Structures are given as C-alpha cells and as structure tokens.
Amino acid sequence: MGLSLALNTARASLAASSNQIAVSARNVAGASDPGYSRKIAALVTTGAGGAVVNITRATDAALYARTLSASSSAAYGDAVLTGLTTLARTVGDTEDATSPAARFAGFEAALQAAANQPDSTDLARAAVKAARALASSLNDAAGAVQAARAESDAGMQASVARINDLLGQFDRANTAVTRGLAFGADATDALDDRDRALTALSAEIGVTAVVREGGDVALYTDSGVPLYDRGARAVRFTPTPTFTPGSTGGMVVIDNVPVTGPNSPMPLASGRLAGLAAFRDTIAPAYEAQLDAMAGGLIESFAETDAIGFDSGPRAGLFTDGTSALLPSDRLGLSSRIGVNAAVDPARGGQLPLLRTGGLNGTDYRDLAAGTDASYAGRLRTLVSNLTAPKTFDPGLGLGTSLSLADFAENAAGWIEGRRKDASEAASYQKTLLSRANEALSNVAGVNGDDETALTLQLERSYTASAKIISVINDLLKTLLDTVR
C-alpha cells in the first residue's frame, strides 16, 4: 500500500470515527427525551480507502403502530371515565342523602307516616317537604347531566384545536423529512419531530399512518377519513351554545365528513375526542332518560281523576311538570321541570289538607270518601300504594321493565356506578397496555447510557489508532523527503 493511499484511508477513518462519536454524543444528550430515538452511525466504504457515515435511527414500525393504537384507546377510556366519575359524584351515590334514590326513600317514609296519622298537620307538611326535596333532587340531577354534557362539549372544542395545531406541526416535520431524504441529508431529527407530533395526535384522535415513497406519510382516522394527505385536512367543530333536554351536540367534521354524532357515516372509535363525544351524545343522555322516567312515574302515580263526571282525562296531582295540569304526553325533559303542585304546597300558599282529601284540580277531583273527617287515611294509603307499586318501564332504559320507582332509582344509581367501574377497569387496562408498548418500543429505539458509553470508548480507541497511523505516515514521509534531499 502506498503512503498516500494509507494516509487517505487513515484520514477517512479519523473523520468517520469523529462523526460516529458525535452521533453517540447526540444519543447521550437525547437519552432523557421520550420522543428521541437512538441514532445509528453506520460506516459505509466508498472504495479507494474512502468511507462515509450513514446516519439512521432505531425503530420498529409494528411496535410504533401498536403504541399509537394503545395511546388512542387509553385516551378514549380516560375521557369516558372522567365524565362518568363527575356524574356519579353528583347524582349517583345512593348513600348520599341528596341523591334521587335517597330522596325516594325519604319521601316514601314521610308519606307513610302521614298516612298512619292523617290528622297531623306536621306530618302532612313533612310529606310535602319531602316531595319538594325529591322533585328538587331530580331537577338538580338533570342540571348536572346538562353541565356534564357542556363540559364534554368544551373538551371537544379544546381537542379539535389541539388536533389542528398538531397537524400543523406534523406537516412541517413531514416536509422536512421528505426534503432531507430527497437531498440525502440526515433527516433523523425531523423523523423524531414527526413521530412526536403523531404520538400526541393519537391521544386526541384514533389515527393510522401510511408510509409512502420518499418518506412521505398519509394519516387517516381510525374510521378511514383522510386527516393528512400532502397537507392537513380541515377539522371543524361547532360548539353547542347551551344544552337542554333532548338537545343534540355539535358535530366534528373532518374533510367535510361528520365523524361524531348519531348520523355520522364514519364515526371515530378511539382517542380523547371520541370518548368525549360518546359521553356527551350517548352516556349522559341515557341517564337523563332514566331521570325523566322517574319524573314521569311520579307524576302519573299521584294523578287525580274526576270523581263527579268525565273530562279530558287524569290530571297532575301532587307532582306536576310545571307547564300543564294535564298529564304530560312526552317525558322528555320532565326531570328538569317536575315540581310540587302549588295547590298543596304551603310555601306557595297551598292547602295541606288537599294531600289527604285530593282536589288539587278542583272539587270534582276530591276523594268523596274523605268528607270532612280529618282522620281519614284512605287516600294517603292509596298514594303510598301507587308510589310503591311496580310500574312498566321502557326496556331501552336498561334498568328492568317492571319495578317500583324507588327500585328504579336505585338501579339508575347502580347503572352509573357500573358504567364507571367498567370504564375504570378498561382505562386501567389500556394504560397498562400503553405502558408495556412504550416500554417495548423504548427497548428497541431508546438510548441505553451504558451501551453508548462503551461504544464511545471503542470509537475513541479507533480514533486514537487512526491518529497514530497518520503520525507514523507523517514520520515516514518526512524521512523519505529527507533522503531525497
């Protein structure tokens, strides 16, 4: 081997070792960054003693895709669990004296006490007060449902804003990747930036990444709607101004396709946005329908009929919907409107004896057997019987089809707690799955400080050897030149 060739080889080795040491230093610096992937400096010979360093990064496409899926599922479960926990804490605890289930039990006991001693004004007043507390608890529960839906709606708006921001970050990183690869530059840092944006995006919305020629990546939602294809697609959301019983929340639209709501042709299945939409549009309205069924059952249980002649039908008695004396034909929103009839409520100038005699809708609706006997308990016992008797409920409510109002209220509380428990277990499982996926990916693509230190020591020895060879060649060339002179 000639001295010039040996010199060129040593110089190339020195430069390569220097570049490899620099890459190892980058790895050590990025070891604490969870979004950083280990860089690999591969030495590629070019002939005639030349060599270049080709920088790639450690990765595993299958593991990364599994991590994205786990991230979306975990965020979905967490969003649903948060909504259910809020709802359960507000309206679903049977041990809470202010919950509808507890108020039903309290009202039943107060009404039974009044029936046992019908001539007691204090017991009658306590029964009406308990009825008022029961109606208020249903009002409060309905309000809590609407507040929880509004909170989820606000969360959806924030999630959409986050998605649009992350798509912008992804676009910039994707452009840097494709440009770097096209010019043969080191694009590994841009690849890391793109993966960071994609990982954060997967927590907001279920996403699938498709790698194409030239390092370009297209993104689709888990339902197949284009999210990014050589440019970010518009993600729009119309916030709901106010929530009322039966109201429908605003839809999220991606690339002009609705991806949330009951009429969505391609609904989202995972991600925080999908979880918030599921709670707002499905879970919370389901509980609201149960509350409305309780309110409707109360109004019907205490309805009055005309004892003298015939009219348009039964009328609301102790409980009314606040809008009409007739029994409501539609139960939608009843839990937010139900209240105690002013005719019997002393707090609003009503007459307590009407609880015992009836006639809240006029004398034609009085119990003819009551007369003027203050000790008559027949009507009160009938009211207790009506309250505790099994009633028929819509099987779609999921709580049973034939049970008393008190049992129905307890089942509703149990339904909320059951859903919360299931959501908690699912969220815990998905978080564990995400942790395991991240751990597996880190083992493949993460930086091990000990390994990098050992590699650096090897590279430094190689660097020292190359420098020594250059020194020897320099001495030989000097000797040769001295001999020629």
Q: For residue range 458-470, list pLDDT tens digits in order.
A: 656 666 666 666 6
Identify the residue with better confidence: 368 or 93: 368
Q: Which two tokens stand for residue 468?
A: 């020594």
Apex CA 112: angle with CA 106 and CA 117, to 5°? 130
Of all residues in the chain, what percent carry a pLDDT higher than 70?
Answer: 81
pTM score of the predicted model:
0.84
pLDDT of 338: 92
DSSP 312: S
d(CA 26, CA 455): 13
d(CA 154, CA 83): 12
Reply yes or no on whether the pLDDT at 255 is more than 80. Answer: yes
Torsion of CA 80, 84, 82, 159, to 10 degrees: 50
Per-residue confidence band for 263, with pLDDT thresholds at 50, 70 and 90: confident
pLDDT digits (tens, 9 = 90+) for 431-466: 888 888 888 877 776 666 666 666 666 656 666 666
Can you list the alpha helix ranges (DSSP code H) found in 30-60? Answer: none
d(CA 441, CA 434): 10
Quick one: average pLDDT of 283-311? 87
Q: Which long-range contacts (CB under 8 A, 24 or more apart) does 13-16 make?
A: 13/51, 13/462, 13/465, 13/466, 13/469, 14/463, 14/466, 14/467, 14/470, 16/43, 16/51, 16/52, 16/53
pLDDT of 131: 93
Query: Mutual orientation of helices 3-29 and 449-484 as an angle, nearest 10°?
Result: 160
* Sign of the dihedral defined by the CA atoms of residues 293, 111, 93, 157, in that order: positive
d(CA 135, CA 438): 50
pLDDT of 153: 94
Q: Return the closest-CA partner of residue 227 out of 249, 261, 251, 202.
A: 202
Quick one: average pLDDT of 94-121? 85
Quick one: average pLDDT of 288-315? 84
Collapsing DSSP to helix, strand or coil, 439 comes out as helix
Identify the residue with better confidence: 372 or 166: 166
Can you list the alpha helix ranges (DSSP code H) found in 369-448? Answer: 378-388, 405-445
Reply yes or no on whether the pLDDT at 334 is more than 60. Answer: yes
pLDDT of 25: 67
Per-residue confidence band for 399, with pLDDT thresholds at 50, 70 and 90: confident
CB atoms within 10 A of CB 20: 23
Of all residues in the chain, what percent carry a pLDDT higher than 90?
Answer: 35
Q: Which residues contact 30 (CB under 8 A, 6 or more apart)?
A: 36, 447
pLDDT of 20: 64
Q: Return the closest-CA partner of residue 103 out of 289, 338, 287.
A: 338
Q: Return the closest-CA partner of residue 339 out of 265, 276, 350.
A: 350
Buried b (16+ CB within 10 A) or exposed e, 37-55: bbbebeeeeeeebebebeb
Per-residue confidence band for 267, with pLDDT thresholds at 50, 70 and 90: very high
pLDDT of 460: 61
d(CA 243, CA 287): 15
Identify the residue with better confidence: 5 or 85: 85
Mean pLDDT taken over the chain: 83
User: Are the CB atoms for 405 and 294 separated by under 8 Å?
Assistant: yes
